[in-house]
Chains A and B, each alone.
Chain A
C-alpha cells in the first residue's frame, strides 16, 4: 500500500516536472528572436501588413499569454511540435526518426560505465583496505577522467583507434556503401557504436568509481560486516551478500540523478562521431537557427530524462524497502 502511495507521489512529481518543462520551452519560444507571423509571411513571400495581421490572429499571437500557453500545451500533447521549414518536415517526425540512435547510445554508455565503473570501484575499495597501489592507480585515473572534456576525449580516441590503428570506424552509425543485412549488420553497428559509447561512458566511469569506492568503504566499517567476519563467513560471501547489496544502493540513486548530465554529454559525443541521434539533429539545427526544431529537441530530451529518472527511482524503491517506509535519505 505504502509502495503504491510512493509511486503515485513520484508520478505526480514527474508530471509536474513535465509541465514545468512545457512552460519553460514555451517561454523560450517567446524569447526566440523574430516574430513568427513575420517569418511565416516571409516564407510565403509577402510583406503585406494586413496579411501579417491576419496570420497573427490565425496563430493566436494576439491572445493573452496564458491562453497561448494552453494552446501550446494542447498541441504538444498531440505531438504537434511545429514545422521545420529547413528540413521541410514536422519536428516530431524528425525527432522520432533520430530517437532510437540516441537511446541506443545512452543505454550502451550507461551499461558500460556502470559495469566498468562499479567493477573498478570494488577493486579500488578492496585495495584501499590493504593500502594497495591499485587503489591509487584507479583513483588517479578517475580524477583525470573527471576533468577531461568528453568531446576532446572523443577526438583522441578517433586519432588512436581509427586513424592510427585503423581498428574502428570514426564516424556514423553504419557503413553506408555496404548494404549489409542480418548478423553482419549487427556487427557493423556494434563496431560503430563502440567508440562513442566508450567515450560517453568515460566521464561517468570516474563518478561511479569514486562513488562505489567510498560507499563500499563506508559499509565495510559498519557493525554488521564485523559481525559477519566474527561469525567466520568467507570474505567473498561477505562482499556479495552484505557489502555490495548495501553499498550499491547510493550508486543506483546517483545514476538516476546523473541522467541529465549523461544526456548532455551525449550531445557532444554525437556531434564528434556524427552519430545520427537527436544531439546531432540539434547541432545541425543550431547553425540554421531552426528554433522549432531546437525547442522540440529540448522538450523531448527533457521529458525523456524525467521519465528515465522516474524509472530509476522506482528501481531504487524496489531494491531498498526502507525507502517505502519513509526512512530513506532526505
Chain B
C-alpha cells in the first residue's frame, strides 16, 4: 500500500483528527501568505471604523475602531500564534526530553533532584511566573517563547522519565549495554525511538498550552509589540463590547478553533499510534 493510501485509511478511521489536520494546514498556509493575500500591514487603516461583519465584501469580518481590517488582523495574528506555538513546543521538547531522559536513564539521586525541580515548577502558578519573566526581560517573541518553555518543560520531563524508567529494563537495552554502546547512544538510538508515541502526544498538549499562553500574555499587553496577535485584538475590543461585539468574537473564535484542532489532532494521533504501537513493542 502506498503511504498516501494508508494515510487516507487512517484519516477515514479518525475523521475529526483529519479535519483538524486540514484546518491547521490551511491556517498555516493563510498565515504564511498573509502579506500577499491581505496587504503588508495589519495596522493599516483601510476602511471606515467599526464596520460590521459581512457588510462589505472587501472586509468580510468587519473593521475595528481605527478602520483596520479584522480578517487581515486574524491572518497576521495566526502568524504570531503559530510561530510562538511551534518555537515553544520545539524548545520545550528539547529541554523536557533531555531532562526526562537523563533522569529516567540514570535514576538515583540525579533522577530525584531533577524530578524535585520539575515538581517545583509544576506547582507554581504558571501564568504568573510567565508574566513576571516576560515583564522583566521586556516583551518580545523570544521572551514569550522562553517564558512558555520555562513553565511547560516539567510535564514533558516527567512523562519522558517514566517512559525511560520502564524501557531501560527491557532486553534490547540490556543487550545494547552489554555490546558496549555508550549511554548517549543507548538513550538516542535505542530508548528514544521507542518512546516517540507518548512524546508526540505530549507535544500536542504543549502546543495547545503554548498557543493559549501566548494569547493570554498578548492579551495582558506582553506580546511582541510589533506583531499583531489574537490576544492583543481581544484586549483592544474590551472597551467596545457594546458597539462592536465582532471585534471580540473573531479573534477568540480563532484561538478556540486552533486549540481545538490541535487537541483533536493529538487525540487522533494517540489512538492511531496506540493501535500501531502494540506491533512494535520489543
Question: How many Å lie between the Cα of A267 and that of B125 in the bound state?
Answer: 10
Question: How many Å lie between the Cα of A267 and that of B220 in the bound state?
Answer: 10
Known A-B contacts: A148-B255, A294-B131. Give 4 more (CB < 8 A).
Answer: A149-B216, A155-B238, A156-B249, A261-B126
A163 at the interface (CB under 8 A from B): yes
Within 8 A of A (CB), among B236-262: 237-238, 241-242, 245, 248-249, 251-252, 255-257, 259-260
B247: shortest Cβ distance to chain A, in Å?
Answer: 10
A302 at the interface (CB under 8 A from B): yes
Residue pairs across A and B with Cβ atoms less than 8 A apart, 27 shown, are A31-B137, A32-B136, A33-B136, A147-B259, A147-B263, A149-B234, A149-B252, A149-B255, A149-B259, A151-B219, A151-B234, A152-B248, A155-B238, A155-B241, A155-B252, A156-B252, A163-B242, A261-B126, A264-B128, A267-B131, A268-B127, A286-B221, A291-B136, A294-B132, A297-B128, A298-B128, A305-B125
- In the complex, the answer to whether A305 meets B123 with C-beta atoms within 8 Å is yes
Interface residues of A (CB under 8 A from B): 17, 20-21, 28, 31-33, 143-144, 146-149, 151-153, 155-156, 158-159, 163, 257, 260-261, 263-265, 267-268, 271-272, 282-283, 286-287, 289, 291, 294-295, 297-298, 301-302, 305-306, 309
- In the complex, the answer to whether A159 meets B241 with C-beta atoms within 8 Å is yes
- In the complex, the answer to whether B123 meets A152 with C-beta atoms within 8 Å is no
- In the complex, the answer to whether B132 meets A298 with C-beta atoms within 8 Å is yes
- In the complex, the answer to whether B259 meets A302 with C-beta atoms within 8 Å is no
**Secondary structure type dominating chain B contacts:** helix
**Secondary structure type dominating chain A contacts:** helix
- In the complex, the answer to whether A282 meets B128 with C-beta atoms within 8 Å is yes
B122 at the interface (CB under 8 A from A): yes
Interface residues of B (CB under 8 A from A): 120, 122-129, 131-133, 135-138, 208, 212, 215-216, 219-222, 231, 234, 237-238, 241-242, 245, 248-249, 251-252, 255-257, 259-260, 263-264
- Residues of chain A within 8 A (CB-CB) of B129 are 298
Please name the 4 residue pairs, one residue from A and one from B, whose CB atoms are nearest each other, closest first. Answer: A152-B252, A264-B127, A147-B259, A147-B260
- In the complex, the answer to whether A155 meets B126 with C-beta atoms within 8 Å is no
Nearest CB to that of B127 among chain A residues? A264
- In the complex, the answer to whether B216 meets A21 with C-beta atoms within 8 Å is no
- In the complex, the answer to whether B219 meets A159 with C-beta atoms within 8 Å is no
Choose from B128, B257, B260 the contact partner of A301 (Cβ within 8 Å): B128
